[in-house]
Amino acid sequence: MTSTPVDLNPAEATRVVAGVLAPLVAQGAIVRRPRATAWAERHQTDRAARAVLTGLRARHDGAPLVLRLGPRRMVVVTEPGHVRRLLEESPEPFTPASKEKVGALRHFQPDGVLISSTADRRYRRPFNETALRTELPVHDDGAAFTDAVRHGAAELARRLRGSGGLDAATFTDVWWGIVLQVVLGAGARADRELVDLLDALRRDANWSWFHPRDERRRTELASRIESYLAAPEPGTLAAAAHAAGAATAPGQVPHWLFAFDAAGAATLRALAVVSARPEVRARLLAEVAAPGPGTALLPYARACVLESLRLWPTTLVVLRDSTAPTVWGERTLPAGTGFAVVSAFFHRDPARLGHADAFVPEAWLDGRNADDWGLVPFSGGPVSCPGRNVVLLVTSHLLAHLAAHDLRVARGRYLAEDPLPATMDHLGLRFGLGEGAADRT
């Protein structure tokens, strides 16, 4: 492996743009476009992208790959050691506030920590860690959060009994109810106007700098959020945020909502695999049925969600920009150079992972996935996701509740055995009830 970045020739650069970056942009970095995600599954675009990057990694002996996108210099890394450096040396000299990310997220969370300057991060990051209780496996208000999950799971059960099936739209509607209750309280659970505002702004954000900001909608979104923060319900992230710093809270809540949307996609994909594999479902049910200390963690259910995130990453590309000239191998890259970690490439790299295309939750429990810097379901290093444990608590409990139902996924024949498809359109998932379906939640 060489650490010195190499410039791709025009043909190679075209392959990366057309085979790797363009499909990711087409699907939507901030909110997925249904037609594009369906197209991506039909064409298994992640498999094609992996083939492109695997070939270039071999041709250039593992060197970072440099291509020009107009005036923009982008470096696509190909080795876990490169990922480790980018993440460990964030936010300086590798800031997560990349040009593309700032252009996108400014539409609905201009004050979010993810696109903050280094100076603003010094108080916004600690605020997030305090409110989200980053250091705790289970948040102080974890019982209230799992109550919200139980309420949502009961609603899904009612809809299942009524229609005999479940689709992504129904799941997503109930999921937002759970998220709004966790973040803002039971009084917000039915506030789909807030969700619609956020979705509209996120659709604009897909276009990054190429779309003007909708200040009217952004102001309305901020106003609705602040109405819940003014008198936050106990047992919510809003209350934790108010205690951590009321003045900082409004700017951070939009990102929490945004992040939970991706968590819903991961849960839905995990549910599809669980529904296709009776042995996985049986282990989930056994975990829930075995009360005792620490069972609120649901380690196996968490591992199933993590495995869903590994196989089908919700963060399609981890981006960094250099804030100063950077020595990398025998080259010095100028300040403002962009760096890209294509997660689907690293998460399914057979050169490192014997279970690259298999569903193996146990690898998150037995140490096989530990300390692998190529696995970045929640990023890593000093700017890793501060809400990791909150997300895993909510998603794992919902997955466990839904496993109580004998669901059959429409495309189960593709998910029952390994290797699993490289690209899965979660928006196209459909579930039906099996003969042994349970009514319990």
Alpha carbon distance 170, 327 (integer Å): 50
Query: What pLDDT score does 290 carry?
Result: 79
Alpha carbon distance 292, 144 (integer Å): 19
Say if CB 395 and CB 6 are below 8 A apart: no
Residue 289 phi/psi, 5° resolution?
Answer: -80, -5
- CA atoms within 13 A of residue 214's CA, in its CB half-sphere: 16
Angle in degrees, 0-180, between the axes of helices 118-132 and 249-276, rounded to the nearest 10: 60
Could you give the 3-state DSSP secondary structure of residue 8?
Answer: coil
Say if CB 225 and CB 184 are below 8 A apart: yes
| Residue carrying the six token digits 């669901």 | 407
Prior bond of 91 cis (ω within 30°):
yes
Q: Which two tokens stand for residue 7?
A: 């410039």
Identify residue 276 by its one-letter amino acid code.
Answer: A
Query: What pLDDT score does 436 carry?
Result: 56
Q: Which long-range contacts (CB under 8 A, 24 or more apart) does 37-43 make?
A: 37/425, 37/426, 37/427, 37/428, 38/425, 38/427, 38/428, 40/423, 40/425, 41/421, 41/423, 41/424, 41/425, 41/428, 43/423
pLDDT per residue of the chain (441 residues) written in tens, 0 to 9: 678 999 999 999 999 999 999 999 999 999 999 999 999 999 999 999 999 999 999 999 999 999 999 999 999 999 999 999 999 999 999 999 999 999 999 999 999 999 999 999 999 999 999 999 999 999 999 999 999 999 999 999 999 999 999 999 999 999 999 999 999 999 999 999 999 999 999 999 999 999 999 999 999 999 999 999 999 999 999 999 999 999 999 999 999 999 999 999 999 999 999 999 999 999 999 999 876 656 689 999 999 999 999 999 999 999 999 999 999 999 999 999 999 999 999 999 999 999 999 999 999 999 999 989 999 999 999 999 999 999 999 999 999 999 999 999 998 889 999 999 999 999 999 999 986 554 443
Say if CB 339 and CB 322 are below 8 A apart: yes
Query: What pLDDT score does 441 carry?
Result: 38
Alpha carbon distance 3, 355 (integer Å): 27
Residue 377 phi/psi, 5° resolution?
Answer: -60, -25
Alpha carbon distance 348, 136 (integer Å): 29
Say if CB 277 and CB 416 are below 8 A apart: yes
Report the chain's terminal Cα–Cα distance, integer Å: 52
Query: What pLDDT score does 223 carry?
Result: 97
Residue 266 phi/psi, 5° resolution?
Answer: -65, -40
Query: What pLDDT score does 118 carry?
Result: 92
DSSP output for 316-361: -EEEEEESS-EEETTEEEPTT-EEEEEHHHHHT-TTT-TTTTS--G
200-232 residues labelled b (16+ CB within 10 A) or e (exposed):
bbbbbbbbbeeeeebeebbebbbebbeebbeeb
Q: Which two tokens stand for residue 45?
A: 């675009």
Prior bond of 250 cis (ω within 30°):
no
Residue 75 phi/psi, 5° resolution?
Answer: -110, 120
- CA atoms within 13 A of residue 281's CA, in its CB half-sphere: 21
Alpha carbon distance 288, 284 (integer Å): 6
Q: Which two tokens stand for residue 237?
A: 């992230």
Q: Which residues lie closer than 8 Å to 123 by C-beta, 6 or more apart?
A: 245, 248
Q: Which two tokens stand for residue 186?
A: 């039971």
